Each structure stands twice: as structure tokens, then as C-alpha cells.
Amino acid sequence: MIGISIFVLALVMLLFGFPVAFTFSSVGIIFIVFFSEPDQLAQIPYRIFSNMGESGGGTVLMAIPLFIFMGLILQRTKLAEQLLESMGRLFGSVRGGLAISTVLVGSLLAASTGVVGASVVAMGLISMPIMLRYGYSKSLSAGTICASGTLGQLIPPSIVLIVLGDVLNIPVGDLFQAAIKPGLVLIGCYIAYIVIYCLINPESAPPIPLENENTSRSKVIIDAATAVIPPLMLILIVLGSIFFGIATPTESSAIGCLGATILAVAYQKFSFNMIWESSKETLKITAMVFAVIIGASIFSMGFSYTGGEEEVADLLLSIPGEKWGFLIFTMALIMLLGFFLDYIEISYIVLPLVYVAVEALQINPVWFAILIAMNLQTSFLTPPFGFALFYLKGIAPKGVTTLDIYKGVIPFIFIQIAVLASMLFFPEIYGLSSEAPKLW
């Protein structure tokens, strides 16, 4: 049971708060030294360079810093503020309209920035005080903002999908295409829940009249369209270049950076200091992600050299119910780990272990990856360590308690689980197949 012991030890160290990258690498080195051949430590540099090279997916990984940079530039153009203000005026006169506009803006920010922290903080600072001022329920306001801010984990171009493409060796463009329908269904379910909630509890989300009665409805619509069209065009250019085979995901991320810079100039927010600050923040986030990737490479070496892959594969394949038993067990395990761990740790410590069973059971890897992406998105909302909850609590107005935030996200967690279950049992609704494609 040496192989399984290395996995358990790594999880325990992560739960005690040890840094992820150093936990993976140190545990892998310890097990190689004591339970395998110490001479194999010399293979570590070759393994790292192989993973970072073109054959190991390094070209795809280049898209991570570029999409992060694109998102940070758009964050500094005050795009979220303009979107929320214009959409709030458009839907504010409808009961629950501010919450609906928050979901729509969250989906646009997800597809243009993909940075969960930035989306939650921006919408929390702008829309939450307005919703509370007009008598919106604290829990509904908090839950809507947290759920909308995490849409960037599923809606392309998503960093999670890029990571999954690297870990599972799947073309990122295929994952981007496969994630669009589930993302749209999830947005629709969020809006449907808000509408139903407001019908049952009308006092929790009252309609808001226009601040200036002389403002025409047509002007409000024109202002909303003016705010929506620029980021929407950027999204269509970035994703369209991938879907139509014009550019690879890495090339399209570079196009996105250029487009974000052009929008910054158009919004009169461009400055060299903004570029400098965005670059520094991109460097910090990218260094964190790649440090985890390097640590995971060393960990996977120790795991495979001590026989862990065979042990886990035998264990997973012995689960009753064959394919469906394995899938239900895997989804439950990842959801449980999501209460305590980040998506990067789960992606690089769990998925390589279960992918052996995915291949053995002839499961469609694209379908499996989208199921994982939906599952990992839920981890941002689940108490006690959901990152979106921490982001919102840090900037929430006085009077909004942690309990209000927890109560608000619970319905959205159940919505995500319901959509995940529909993807699991009815993949054809989303244009996906559960069977691995045959190679002739």
C-alpha cells in the first residue's frame, strides 16, 4: 500500500496548510528515496522539461499567463462597473432585476476575464450595496454574486479547462466548445431560480424605478448595448478564432491580450503603469500555477515509481457498477475534496490517478473533463473554504454576515449539482457522448 500512502500523506499535509507545490515535490522525493531507487531523482529535471516542452503540453500552458493578463487588463478598464451600471438600469424595474443583471454580467466577465476573485470583488463592491439599499435579501444578494463570479471556471476561455486539457491530454479547443452548452444551461438555471424565488418572496427583491423618470427606455437599451458589445466582440473573436480553426488556444490568448489593450485605450484607461501592474500580477499567479505543476510532476514520479498507479487503477476498476459506479464515486470524491482543496491541487493530484480507469472503461475524455470542470466550479462555493465566499466576505458591507453568505450560496450549489447530474446521466442534451470515440 505504499502507493496509496503517498497520496494520503500529500492530502493530509495539504489539509494542515502546507504550501501545495512544496508538499507535492517533497512527498514525491521522500518516497522515491525511501521506497524506490534514489538514482531516479536524476530523472526529475528531464521530467519537468518534458512536461513544459512542446510534446508535454507546454505550448498549451502558455495560454494560462496570456489569458490571466487579458483578464487583469479588462479588470482595470472598469469593464465590470460599466456593465453592472447599464444592465442594472435595464433590468432594475423588473422584480429581481438587479440579481438577473448580476448573473448576466457575471457570465460576460467570466468569458472575458475568467478571474474569479476579480469578478466577485467587482460585483460585490458595485451591485451588493445597491441591492441592499433597495431592500434585496442579504442571502439572495450574496448567493447571486458568489455564483455569478464563479462562472469563469466553466465558461470558456477558462483557466480550469486549460489545466484539464493539459492534465488529461485533451485539445483545449474541444473542451471550450463542449463547455458552452453546460455554461448556458447553468446561467439559465440561475436566472430561473431568481425569478421563482422572487415570485415566492416578492419582498426579497423589489423592482427599482428609473432614477430619472425623464430617461427614455430606448436610451437605457442603447447604453446597455454600448457597454455589452465591446466585451462581447472580444469574446467572439477569441473563441471564434479557436472554433473555426483560425488560431490555436495559445494564439487566441495572444489575440485576446491585444484586444483587451485596445479596449483599455477605447475606455481611456490605458497607461503604462496599468500594463506594469497587470504584468506583475500575472507573474505572481503564473508562478503559483507553474510551481504546482512542477511539484505535481515530481509527485507523480514518486507515485508511479512506488506502484501507486496500479493500486489505484485496480481499486477504481473494482467499484461496483463498472462505468457508472466509477463515475458516481469520482464525482462524489472530487466534490468532497472541493470543500477543502483548490482546483489546481485536485487537477494535478487526483485526475492523473483516475484517468487510468477512464481509459480502461472507454469513457469519453471530453465528457469526463466537462463533468470535472462543473464539479470544480462547485468547490468555489462550498463552505467552509470556498474561495468565492472569502472574496465576498472581505468586501461585503457591514451587516452581511458569513451565515448570510452561506445561506445564499446553498441553493446555487444544489443548482450546480442538478446540472452536473443531468450532464452525467443525459449527456446527449449537451451534445456530448459518454462513449470514447473509436479509432479506426
For each of the chain's 440 residues, which pLDDT tens digit applies? 666 677 778 778 877 777 777 888 888 888 888 877 777 777 778 777 766 665 445 567 788 788 888 878 877 777 766 777 777 777 767 788 888 888 888 887 777 666 666 677 777 777 788 788 878 888 998 899 888 888 878 888 788 888 888 888 888 888 988 999 999 999 999 999 999 998 898 888 887 765 554 556 677 777 777 777 887 888 888 888 888 888 887 888 888 889 889 988 888 888 899 899 989 988 887 888 788 778 877 877 777 776 666 667 677 777 887 888 889 988 988 888 877 777 777 887 778 778 888 888 888 999 999 999 999 888 778 876 677 887 788 778 788 888 888 888 999 999 999 999 999 999 988 888 877 665 44
| pLDDT of amino acid 168 | 84
* Residues 6 or more apart in contact with residue 296 via CB below 8 angstroms: 24, 348, 349, 352
**Cα 390 to Cα 143: distance, rounded to the nearest angstrom:** 13
User: Cβ–Cβ contacts within 10 Å for residue 197, how many?
Assistant: 20
| pLDDT of amino acid 319 | 82
Q: For every residue of the chain, which 3-state class applies, written as one string?
A: CHHHHHHHHHHHHHHCCCCHHHHHHHHHHHHHHHHCCHHHHHHHHHHHHHHHCCCCCHHHHCHHHHHHHHHHHHHHCCHHHHHHHHHHHHHCCCCCHHHHHHHHHHHHHHHHCCCHHHHHHHHHHHHHHHHHHCCCCHHHHHHHHHHHHHHHHCCCCCHHHHHHHHHHCCCHHHHHHHHHHHHHHHHHHHHHHHHHHHHHCHHHCCCCCCCCCCCCHHHHHHHHHHHHHHHHHHHHHHHHHHHCCCCCHHHHHHHHHHHHHHHHHHCCCCCHHHHHHHHHHHHHHHHHHHHHHHHHHHHHHHHHHCCHHHHHHHHHHCCCCHHHHHHHHHHHHHHHHCCCCCHHHHHHHCHHHHHHHHHHCCECHHHHHHHHHHHHHHCCCCCCCCHHHHHHHHHCCCCCCHHHHHHHHHHHHHHHHHHHHHHHHCHHHHCCCCECCCCC
At 12, the amino acid letter reads V
**Cα 372 to Cα 154: distance, rounded to the nearest angstrom:** 10
At 355, the amino acid letter reads Y
- Cβ burial 73-105 (10 Å sphere, 16+ → b, else e): bbbbbebbbbbbbbbbbbbbebbbbbbbbbbbb
Q: What is the pTM of this model?
A: 0.79
Q: Which cell numbers in the block locate residue 29?
A: 522525493
Q: Which cell numbers in the block locate residue 63?
A: 495560454
Compute CA distances 341 → 39, 241, 334, 373, whole Å: 32, 34, 9, 14
At 277, the amino acid letter reads E
User: Cβ–Cβ contacts within 10 Å for residue 401, how many?
Assistant: 14
**Cα 263 to Cα 178: distance, rounded to the nearest angstrom:** 28
**Cα 154 to Cα 176: distance, rounded to the nearest angstrom:** 9
Instruction: Return phi, psi of residue 363, to 5°.
Output: -90, 140
Q: Which cell numbers in the block locate residue 110?
A: 467570466
**Cα 109 to Cα 433: distance, rounded to the nearest angstrom:** 29
Whose grid coordinates read 423589489?
206
| pLDDT of amino acid 44 | 77
User: Could you tell me if 376 and 343 are in contact, meaning their C-beta atoms sit under 8 angstroms apart?
Assistant: yes
307 burial type by CB count under 10 A (0-12 exposed, 13-18 middle, 19+ buried): middle
User: Could you tell me if 172 and 161 are in contact, meaning their C-beta atoms sit under 8 angstroms apart?
Assistant: yes
| pLDDT of amino acid 440 | 40
Compute CA distances 118 → 215, 229, 244, 298, 389, whole Å: 31, 21, 30, 32, 13
